[in-house]
């Protein structure tokens, strides 16, 4: 009989529901109100009844029924944690009499935390913004009737890419681990390399809409506190709706006017970032991207690869010099080639000059046009092979490079030497370990082509002077970009263009102003 | 971002001295000296270097006494607002003229030797604009630019003069001192000392030295490097060309370079040599224009120097295209150099004297000296 009738809803509850809807509709409060129904509908309206928001209400049978609700976003949470460590443990443990005795509506919050929740990481908060952010990050909110606070349980467990081999910064010798998109995985990758309690990982959130988690990682007693503070305040003061990749931060903190050179170094290699942190730099990890930022940076750093430290110092120095030569080729070669052949043919030895002239007979274009045609085609091929799906990419490289070059020479559009020059230039630009800098240099070779074509070698020098003035004026968080060469620091020379033996690198780079200056202890005097 | 008020390091001080002094003048210096004193040129350079050492010590002494002021500030402090400003403006004017003459001479060399189809005016404008671009930067940047370019400036000259030394015939260098040439010792020293002009630029950089106690050492080292480069160039030219030919060669250093070749790689080297020489001339013009900018900025209390230094290119350009030909430029340059030498020598003397008599000096700030 009784089942046919619904239990009448008490007038008080109807009133309360009504009030809750009004509160939710009128204004967005910043704190939870403490009334269970109001808070619940408040959170529900906050998420606009989103279909992936799960609200599971249940009651705990402790002396009197206690209303409890669990809120989480489906897909962001580890359902095992929600089921077992929250719902199941609440329901099961609350049946134990000794526990139930101690629970009163007034102290439910504390006792539930103390006796009923088996989840590991919990915290309480009543700030709506914080609660919504944590729910959206994959945590589970536990709302308890009669309490103004809400318990937030860490239940993050979304699908992520695992730790894989880094694709951009490949090395022959060295660890094969790369950062992934998950900020926790990334911090753990650094933590595992530096087991030092002084390694500080500080969290922050930027992006009003994206609410992106970021972490500043540095070693407290090495990094210069002033630099750390400056990096933190500057990045935290960024006002933007969303930060989807660390490149956003890299550009937003750039304060040196127009420059092609980055003020932070992006890396997807944990060993490289760990080495940077150990030198006194600050790493900025951004959730959602495998590219971790390192700051401050200096120019020579972009020519260094972690591998340099794993091989013999003499070999590494040689390889570094090769990289510099390659970069110089990628920057200057086409411009110098044009300058030499069009303006200063007397420089070239006579047999070579004759060969050049012979090769160019029948080519209808001027040398600049010829070079530009080839350079632009190479850029197109490069861009196309990046966009193409994996297996097809290299094919395009071969097709583009070999066939296009060969065919255009046969067709008499370009001379063979131009193809050689452009090929060396392109290959040279891939030898720079840092992707951003490589693109900068590739871009800068076009101004040098025009300078070389207008004023010969004089134009090239003019461009070089402008580049030097620009680089000398750059600073990265107060650290001169051209350190340790300008200003010259003798102690910094162990690891710049040369890579000396470790016994020559006893100190950390002086331009980073590290608190703990020594990497290696001083050698003991021989007796 | 906190900026370091005293960013200039001792090494940068050397670079500033060397880069500012070594200029397009080095292309004609061997001829100028040789026409005066013949084989005794090496002696003139040694004596002039000693003179230059004395002059730069004067500037160092004044700079140490007025540790927080640059040239226009201490001339005003010692000689009063009007006299001091006038003297400072005289320095500014001399640097502006120096910059335009350098641009003119070098541009003439370029269009004669390697770029015959480029108009003279374009060369002048490019050089002046490059210098003005440097002058828009702050002092730390300028010091770093000098530091980065120093190896190129010195290296370029050594690299190109040293291979030609194999052609030196020792008998051309003899006798070491021509009999009778010592009568012309006075003019020789004047010509030689004027080739060290530009050293007065340190008066603008000294208040920004991070370690002023090392200033004297850096300055002297700078002068010695310049002297070594000049000695090498002049003796190289005499040894290869001989005094007779040398006196009739317009740009002996360039002729020297023309004679060397790296067989199989490059046949003739004047194009790369002059391309490197752009850096040499640029550092001088840049320093000079920076000097003009610094003096104007300090006298008229102009805070920003972002755009207006480019305006200096206009008067400098008209000064540069004024003389009808290279010979006229050189003559004007020589007379102007003597006037400048007087200015450069007597200013620190007067300032130092007045400062001692009137008891003027900047109180050294103990903390900063230690903190740097």
Supply the pLDDT for residue B264: 66
Q: Model ipTM?
A: 0.93
- Say what the pLDDT of residue B370 is: 43
Work out the pLDDT band at B369, boundaries 50, 70, 90: very low
Hey, which bits of A78-156 come out as E strands? 122-125, 140-144, 150-153
Q: Which two tokens stand for residue A445?
A: 């070779």
Query: In Å, how far is B220's CA from the nearest CA of chain A?
Result: 19
- Look-up: residue for tokens 């950390």? A508
Helices (H), A361-434: 367-387, 392-398, 405-410, 416-429
pLDDT at position A4, please? 61
Q: Which residue has the higher pLDDT, A14 or B126?
A: B126
Instruction: Output the pLDDT for position B263.
Output: 66
Name the CATH superfamily, with its identifier, for domain B10-356. Answer: Amino acid/polyamine transporter I (1.20.1740.10)
Task: Answer yes or no: are the C-beta atoms of B144 and B153 closer than 8 Å.
Answer: no
Count Cβ atoms below 10 Å from residue B254 Cβ, excluding itself: 20
**Three-class DSSP category at A142:** strand
Contact B24, B280 (CB under 8 A): yes
Query: Which residues from B are below 8 Å from A when comparing CB atoms?
Result: 1-2, 7, 9, 11-12, 110, 114-115, 118, 123, 126, 130, 133-134, 137-138, 140-141, 143-145, 147-149, 263-269, 271-272, 274-276, 278-279, 282
Domain range summary for chain A, segments of one domain joined by +: 2-153, 183-297, 309-480
Task: Say how far residue A430 (Cα) sits from the centre of its chain.
Answer: 21
pLDDT, one tens digit per residue, over B187-228 is 888 888 888 998 999 999 999 998 888 899 999 999 999 999
Pick from B80-84, B116-120, B284-288 the range whose average pLDDT is largest.
B284-288
Q: Taken in order A292, A298, A303, A305, is the CA torsion positive or negative?
A: negative
Angstrom distance (rounded) from CA A54 to CA A58: 13
In whole angstroms, what is the distance from residue B56 CA to residue B352 CA? 13
* Domain locations in chain B as residue ranges: 10-356
Whether A473 sits inside 8 A of B126 (CB atoms) is: no
B145 contacts in A (CB within 8 Å)?
A: 468-469, 472, 486
CB-CB contact of B96 with B311 (8 Å): no
**Do A164 and A180 contact (CB within 8 A), yes or no?**
yes
Mean pLDDT for chain B overall: 87
B139 CB neighbours in chain A (<8 A) are none
Which residue numbers in chain A have pLDDT < 70? 1-6, 23-28, 105, 525-527
- The two three-digit tokens of residue B354, written as one number: 């007045």
Name the A residues in 214-233 with CB < 8 Å from any B CB.
226, 230
User: Residues near A374 by Cβ (< 8 Å), separated by ≥ 6?
Assistant: A405, A408, A414, A418, A419, A422
pLDDT at residue B2 above 60? no
- A455, A470, A480, best to mutate vs chain B, most B CBs in 10 Å: A455
The more confidently predicted of residues B161 and B125 is: B125
pLDDT bracket for residue B371 (50, 70, 90): very low
Rounded Cα–Cα distance for residues A24 and A46 (Å): 8
Condensed to tens digits (0 to 9), the pLDDT of residues A194-252 reads 999 999 999 999 988 888 999 999 999 999 999 999 999 999 999 999 999 999 998 88
- Asked whether the predicted pLDDT for residue B157 surpasses 70, the reply is yes
């Amino acid at each position: 009989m009784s089942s046919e009738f619904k239990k009448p809803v008490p007038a008080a509850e109807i009133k309360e529901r009504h009030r809750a809807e009004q509160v939710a509709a009128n204004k967005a409060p910043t704190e939870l109100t403490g009334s269970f129904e109001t808070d619940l509908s408040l959170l529900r309206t906050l998420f606009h009844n989103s279909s992936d928001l799960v609200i599971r209400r249940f009651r705990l049978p402790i002396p009197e029924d206690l209303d409890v609700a669990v809120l989480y976003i489906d897909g962001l949470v580890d359902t095992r944690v929600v089921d077992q460590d929250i719902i199941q443990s609440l329901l099961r443990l609350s049946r134990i009499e000794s526990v139930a005795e101690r629970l009163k509506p007034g102290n439910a919050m504390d006792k539930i935390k103390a006796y009923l929740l088996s989840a590991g990481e919990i915290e309480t908060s009543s700030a709506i913004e914080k609660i919504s952010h944590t729910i959206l990050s994959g945590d589970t909110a536990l709302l308890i009737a009669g309490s103004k606070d809400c318990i937030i349980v860490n239940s993050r467990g979304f699908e992520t890419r695992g730790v894989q081999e880094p694709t951009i910064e490949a090395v022959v010798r060295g660890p094969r681990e790369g950062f992934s998109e998950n900020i926790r995985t990334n911090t753990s990758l650094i933590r595992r390399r530096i087991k030092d309690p002084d390694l500080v990982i500080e969290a922050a959130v930027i992006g009003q809409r994206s609410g992106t988690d970021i972490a500043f990682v540095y070693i407290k007693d090495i990094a210069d506190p002033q630099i750390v503070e400056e990096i933190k305040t500057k990045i935290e003061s960024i006002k933007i709706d969303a930060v989807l990749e660390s490149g956003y931060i890299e550009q937003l903190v750039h304060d040196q006017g127009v420059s092609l050179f980055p003020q932070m170094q992006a890396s997807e290699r944990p060993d490289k970032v760990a080495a940077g942190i150990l030198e006194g730099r600050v790493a900025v990890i951004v959730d959602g991207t495998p590219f971790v930022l390192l700051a401050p940076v200096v120019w020579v750093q972009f020519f260094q690869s972690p591998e340099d430290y794993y091989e013999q110092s003499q070999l590494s120095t040689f390889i570094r010099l090769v990289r510099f030569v390659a970069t110089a080729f990628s920057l200057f070669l086409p411009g110098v080639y044009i300058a030499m052949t069009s303006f200063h043919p007397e420089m070239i030895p006579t047999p070579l000059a004759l060969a050049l002239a012979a090769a160019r007979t029948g080519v209808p274009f001027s040398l600049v046009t010829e070079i530009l045609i080839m350079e632009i085609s190479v850029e197109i091929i490069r861009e196309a092979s990046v966009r193409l799906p994996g297996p097809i990419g290299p094919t395009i490289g071969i097709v583009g490079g070999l066939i296009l070059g060969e065919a255009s020479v046969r067709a008499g559009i370009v001379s063979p030497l131009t193809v050689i020059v452009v090929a060396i230039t392109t290959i040279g630009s891939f030898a720079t370990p840092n992707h951003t800098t490589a693109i900068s240099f590739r871009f800068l070779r076009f101004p040098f082509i025009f300078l070389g074509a207008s004023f010969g070698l004089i134009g090239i020098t003019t461009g070089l002077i402008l580049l030097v003035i620009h680089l000398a004026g750059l600073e990265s968080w107060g650290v001169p970009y051209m350190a340790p060469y300008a200003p010259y620091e003798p102690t910094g020379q162990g690891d710049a263009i040369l890579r000396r033996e470790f016994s020559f690198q006893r100190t950390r780079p002086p331009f980073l102003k590290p608190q703990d200056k020594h990497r290696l202890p001083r050698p003991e005097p021989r007796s | 971002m906190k900026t370091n008020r005293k960013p200039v390091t001792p090494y940068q001080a050397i670079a500033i001295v060397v880069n500012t002094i070594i200029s397009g003048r080095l292309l004609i210096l061997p001829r100028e000296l040789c026409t005066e004193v013949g084989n005794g040129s090496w002696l003139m350079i040694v004596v002039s270097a000693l003179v230059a050492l004395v002059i730069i010590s004067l500037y160092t002494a004044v700079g140490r006494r007025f540790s927080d002021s640059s040239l226009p500030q201490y001339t005003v402090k010692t000689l009063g607002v009007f006299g001091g400003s006038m003297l400072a403006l005289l320095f500014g004017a001399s640097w502006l003229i120096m910059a335009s003459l350098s641009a003119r001479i070098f541009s003439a060399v370029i269009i004669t030797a390697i770029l015959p189809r480029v108009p003279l005016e374009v060369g002048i404008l490019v050089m002046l604009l490059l210098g003005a671009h440097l002058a828009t930067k702050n002092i730390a940047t300028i010091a770093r630019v000098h530091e980065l370019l120093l190896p190129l400036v010195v290296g370029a000259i050594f690299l190109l003069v040293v291979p030609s030394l194999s052609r030196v015939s020792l008998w051309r260098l003899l006798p070491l001192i021509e009999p009778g040439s010592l009568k012309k010792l006075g003019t020789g020293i004047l010509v030689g000392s004027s080739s060290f002009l530009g050293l007065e630029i340190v008066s603008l950089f000294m208040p920004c030295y991070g370690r002023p106690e090392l200033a004297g050492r850096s300055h002297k080292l700078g002068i010695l490097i310049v002297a070594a480069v000049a000695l090498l160039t002049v003796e190289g030219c005499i040894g290869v060309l001989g005094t007779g030919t040398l006196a009739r060669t317009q740009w002996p250093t360039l002729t020297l370079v023309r004679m060397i070749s790296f067989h199989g790689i490059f046949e003739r080297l004047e194009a790369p040599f002059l391309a490197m020489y752009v850096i040499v001339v640029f550092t001088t013009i840049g320093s000079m224009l920076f000097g003009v900018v610094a003096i104007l900025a300090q006298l008229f209390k102009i805070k920003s120097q972002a755009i207006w230094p480019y305006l200096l290119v206009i008067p400098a350009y008209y000064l540069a295209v004024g003389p009808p030909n290279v010979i006229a430029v050189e003559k004007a340059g020589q007379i102007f150099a003597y006037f400048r030498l007087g200015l450069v020598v007597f200013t620190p003397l007067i300032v130092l004297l007045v400062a001692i008599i009137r008891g003027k000096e900047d109180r050294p700030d103990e903390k900063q000296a230690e903190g740097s």
